[in-house]
A and B are shown apart, each in its own frame.
Chain A
């Protein structure tokens, strides 16, 4: 069975009495260990697709199965559980909590999975070392560079040992050299067995993956391997 299975998935938003079909009967399969990029211009529906794949939202219609969980009409709590266990997010804007230091930010998903405090601390410190921030563990996000912040975010995505990592324009706020380094980390994670889904509008970045899915007007336009 595939890690991600979408069959005829649609997402419809209502604004007043107007229907906006953000996703229109999308079929998609992603196997474990793949490195997939989703590209498309803004308004194409790629963000909506990522929100569904990332279990931040449930589809309006269609069948959606992620990591063996049928989430076609899942409750908010069910989605939260899957997000917590199976999925890691890396955002363009880092989305770290400014009041927490590096280790506490990385620890955040573990807090909600109910691990005891000592184990949480130990695992997050290990992950902080793994992403190369062993010497900055007590720093707050404002004291870190953009690249370092994104490393923290990657650490946070990895700490619960999920099967899928989502990157939503993870290099968008970084200079080219730092962006390269972050992309390399994604490749390394993929090499270590994680399934990676990158969302971007930049075809150059999409070129690091092995499968590119192009979205336009809520439909998958084409798929290719760079």
Chain B
């Protein structure tokens, strides 16, 4: 008997017992739709997390931080100048695998515009900062080499700052306005994009109340720091705000508040770090008062939590598919005990055990396959519901791979659960089967 004939018989059997077939499919429908939805959810989480990783600077982001000096070098502590602009210059000139270096000075001052004033953290930076911190412009321009060279009073501000200083204005329209930092006028030359996570973007699109939520400050916002940036030229920062405290400091020797780098090529991540270490050993005169902080561990943790989410979701969905398979097996067993006589007749006219086996197996696979297709349809609806009540922070993403995987899985479940009933049916003795009432 050809497989095609077996399929025709199987489909007719399914059509003749619509309700029963539907009940046995139900488990598969639910299993497949939950598997697809789970995969869509975890894909959404994965994408959201990856995007977040990129927005916070990606794996390329490396930070030079201060460290306790080890005991054996402790007496030489005053040999090291600490993190200074010279470090940045040394890295630029000798660490070829580092593409950008961003030294930073910061200062807490009063930022004001007209009636509104507030204490804020102000940072003096170089143009490289915009690359290292992955800033994007909403309007205007970044700080330029000219701003640094001339110590101009230019400032680039984050979206939140623009909103809080000029609440009536569109942030993009604040370019060209003047704000005061400790009573010194600065011209806004650029406004940064509003950085937000997917969920906030969605919530804002839905209710239009995104601003209120992000301002309330109760919820954790990983981009708050970036959105509240006030960036002025490094030189302006030093000469206007930082040179008074320690008169002996020069532009070169003042201790940095932050020194961050960007690795040019992730394939050479390790050697890039080695280059940086070698450069800094020289400028720090071999005093080990610095360390390199990377995001590897943090990102690894994120990746492993993505994997864990995927695994647990997949496991639950798999269990429901297995339960669906057992449902099919149950129905197939009931169906063959109802069809013993039919099987006897088929055997009497020359069907081999193998033909009966194939027929029952094909029927079971057909039920699972149709159930799988219905499950795909159901999952589309389920995902729409999940989007509304999403327990995660990301939009579920339906992928073709996920659909194919789930349907294939359902077919395999149908195949496995059909084997035992098919085996039993194929081992029937024709004489007993014919006598069966």
| Neighbouring B residues of A111 by C-beta, 8 Å | 1, 5
The complex places the Cα of A51 from the Cα of B431 at a distance, in Å, of: 8
A85 within 8 A of B: yes
Docked complex: B399-424 residues within 8 A CB-CB of A: none
- In the bound complex, do residue A89 and residue B349 qualify as a contact, i.e. CB atoms below 8 Å apart? yes
The complex places the Cα of A113 from the Cα of B349 at a distance, in Å, of: 10
Say whether, besides A56-B431, A95-B434, A97-B345, A114 and B1 are in contact (CB < 8 Å).
Answer: yes
A-B contact count (CB 8 A): 62
Convert B336-357 into 0s and 1s, putting 1 for each residue whose CB lies closer than 8 angstroms to a CB of A.
0000011011111111111100
| Neighbouring A residues of B342 by C-beta, 8 Å | 97
B430 within 8 A of A: yes
A152 to chain B, nearest CB (A): 12
The complex places the Cα of A88 from the Cα of B390 at a distance, in Å, of: 65
The complex places the Cα of A200 from the Cα of B136 at a distance, in Å, of: 97
- In the bound complex, do residue B348 and residue A89 qualify as a contact, i.e. CB atoms below 8 Å apart? yes
Docked complex: A89-112 residues within 8 A CB-CB of B: 89, 91, 95-97, 99, 108-109, 111-112
- In the bound complex, do residue B347 and residue A80 qualify as a contact, i.e. CB atoms below 8 Å apart? yes
| Neighbouring A residues of B354 by C-beta, 8 Å | 77
Question: Which residue of A has the minimal Cβ distance to B433?
Answer: A56
Say whether, besides A56-B430, A112-B1, A99 and B352 are in contact (CB < 8 Å).
Answer: no
A55 to chain B, nearest CB (A): 9
B12 within 8 A of A: yes
| Neighbouring A residues of B75 by C-beta, 8 Å | none
The complex places the Cα of A75 from the Cα of B355 at a distance, in Å, of: 15
B48 to chain A, nearest CB (A): 53
| Neighbouring A residues of B430 by C-beta, 8 Å | 56-57
| Neighbouring A residues of B346 by C-beta, 8 Å | 108, 112
B2 within 8 A of A: yes
Q: Which of B2, B345, B350, B434 contacts A85 (CB 8 A)?
A: B350
| Neighbouring B residues of A109 by C-beta, 8 Å | 349-350
Docked complex: A140-191 residues within 8 A CB-CB of B: 156, 160
| Neighbouring B residues of A80 by C-beta, 8 Å | 347, 350-353
B16 within 8 A of A: yes
| Neighbouring B residues of A113 by C-beta, 8 Å | 350
| Neighbouring B residues of A156 by C-beta, 8 Å | 349
- In the bound complex, do residue A83 and residue B434 qualify as a contact, i.e. CB atoms below 8 Å apart? no
Q: Which of B2, B5, B345, B350 contacts A84 (CB 8 A)?
A: B350
Say whether, besides A95-B434, A97-B342, A112 and B2 are in contact (CB < 8 Å).
Answer: no
Q: Which of B5, B341, B349 contacts A83 (CB 8 A)?
A: B349
A76 within 8 A of B: yes
Question: Which residue of A has the minimal Cβ distance to B354?
Answer: A77
Convert B1-12 into 0s and 1s, putting 1 for each residue whose CB lies closer than 8 angstroms to a CB of A.
110010000001
Question: Which residue of A has the minimal Cβ distance to B429?
Answer: A57
| Neighbouring B residues of A84 by C-beta, 8 Å | 349-351
The complex places the Cα of A113 from the Cα of B346 at a distance, in Å, of: 12
Question: Which residue of A has the minimal Cβ distance to B347?
Answer: A80
- In the bound complex, do residue A77 and residue B5 qualify as a contact, i.e. CB atoms below 8 Å apart? no
- In the bound complex, do residue B431 and residue A77 qualify as a contact, i.e. CB atoms below 8 Å apart? no
Q: Which of A77, A85, A95, A117 contacts B353 (CB 8 A)?
A: A77
A210 within 8 A of B: no
| Neighbouring A residues of B2 by C-beta, 8 Å | 114
A147 to chain B, nearest CB (A): 20
| Neighbouring A residues of B355 by C-beta, 8 Å | 112
The complex places the Cα of A96 from the Cα of B345 at a distance, in Å, of: 8
| Neighbouring A residues of B348 by C-beta, 8 Å | 54, 56, 83, 89, 95
B1 to chain A, nearest CB (A): 6
Question: Which residue of B has the minimal Cβ distance to A120?
Answer: B5
A166 to chain B, nearest CB (A): 10
| Neighbouring A residues of B352 by C-beta, 8 Å | 76-77, 80-81, 112
| Neighbouring B residues of A112 by C-beta, 8 Å | 1, 346, 349-352, 355
| Neighbouring B residues of A97 by C-beta, 8 Å | 342, 345
The complex places the Cα of A27 from the Cα of B171 at a distance, in Å, of: 108
Docked complex: B352-402 residues within 8 A CB-CB of A: 352-355
Which residue of B1, B2, B351, B355 has the most chain A CB atoms within 10 A of its CB atom?
A: B351
| Neighbouring A residues of B434 by C-beta, 8 Å | 56, 91, 95
- In the bound complex, do residue A81 and residue B350 qualify as a contact, i.e. CB atoms below 8 Å apart? yes
Q: Which of A51, A108, A117 contacts B349 (CB 8 A)?
A: A108
Question: Which residue of A has the minimal Cβ distance to B430?
Answer: A56
| Neighbouring A residues of B347 by C-beta, 8 Å | 56, 80
B413 to chain A, nearest CB (A): 27
The complex places the Cα of A97 from the Cα of B12 at a distance, in Å, of: 13
B5 to chain A, nearest CB (A): 6
| Neighbouring B residues of A57 by C-beta, 8 Å | 429-431
Say whether, besides A95-B345, A97-B345, A83 and B431 are in contact (CB < 8 Å).
Answer: no
The 4 closest A-B pairs by CB, nearest first: A84-B350, A109-B349, A80-B352, A112-B350
Would you give 28 A-B contacts (Cβ < 8 Å), ordered by A? Answer: A56-B348, A56-B430, A56-B434, A57-B429, A57-B430, A76-B352, A76-B353, A77-B354, A80-B350, A81-B350, A83-B348, A83-B350, A89-B349, A95-B344, A95-B348, A96-B345, A99-B12, A99-B16, A108-B346, A108-B349, A109-B350, A111-B1, A111-B5, A112-B349, A112-B352, A113-B350, A114-B1, A114-B2
Given contacts A56-B348, A109-B349, 8 further A-B contacts (CB under 8 A): A57-B430, A76-B353, A77-B352, A84-B349, A84-B351, A108-B345, A112-B1, A113-B350
